Structure 1
Amino acid sequence: MEQTIFWGIWGVLGGIMFLYYMRRVHKIRSFLAGACSGLLALLLVHYAGTWIGYSPALNLLHVLQAGILGVPGVILMVVLHFTI
């Protein structure tokens, strides 16, 4: 049950981001800016994670989360780590 809820939440968030990017005037540029900033934030948290006590692994799920959701996805990743 928890796994279904987990993937359902990520599916809804991905859909919201898809709709957000589709409403932008420059769709591709907006997506690339969001993806690049999210990946940069993931790398920053990964390499500077010893200061905050959490250094996420650079695996496919985290890269996709940062690439699709951007900086809010990385923030959500860190917040969920400390609340669970």
Structure 2
Amino acid sequence: MDTEMLFKMLCGIVAGVMVVYYFRRQKKLLSIAIGALTGCAALFIVNKYGGNFGVNVPLNLFNVSGSLVLGAPFVVFVVIMNFL
């Protein structure tokens, strides 16, 4: 199993967990908005300052949409997979 397949499987698992988490909250829209905001903020911070630590995370459609839907855990997975 290569790292790309492992990454996609982990993103699918995290997406399922996040959907369940969002729909169990009382304030669903607020939870989704905060998750998207923290995910985008984490992605932009890693993109801007990641080069200082040897992490290159480009801003492309996949990364931006992943951080919007999955939040900060997606960015953590991207950084981890970057080191593998």
Q: Which amino acid aligns with 1:12?
A: I
> Higher relative contact order by CA 8 Å / sep ≥ 6: 1 or 2?
2
Classify 1:5/1:54 alpha carbon distance in 2 versus 1 (closer, same or farther; 3 Å): closer
Would you say how many aligned residue pairs link Structure 1 and Structure 2? Answer: 83
The alignment yields a C-alpha RMSD, in angstroms, of: 1.7
Identity of aligned residues (%): 35
Question: Where in structure 2 are the equivalents of 1:30-69 lying within 5 Å?
Answer: 30-69=31-70
Moved over 4 A (4+): 1-6
Flag structure 2 segments of 5+ consecutive residues without an equivalent.
none
C-alpha deviation, 1:22, in angstroms: 0.2
Question: Where in structure 2 are the equivalents of 1:2-41 lying within 5 Å?
Answer: 2=2, 6-41=7-42
Flag structure 1 segments of 5+ consecutive residues without an equivalent.
none
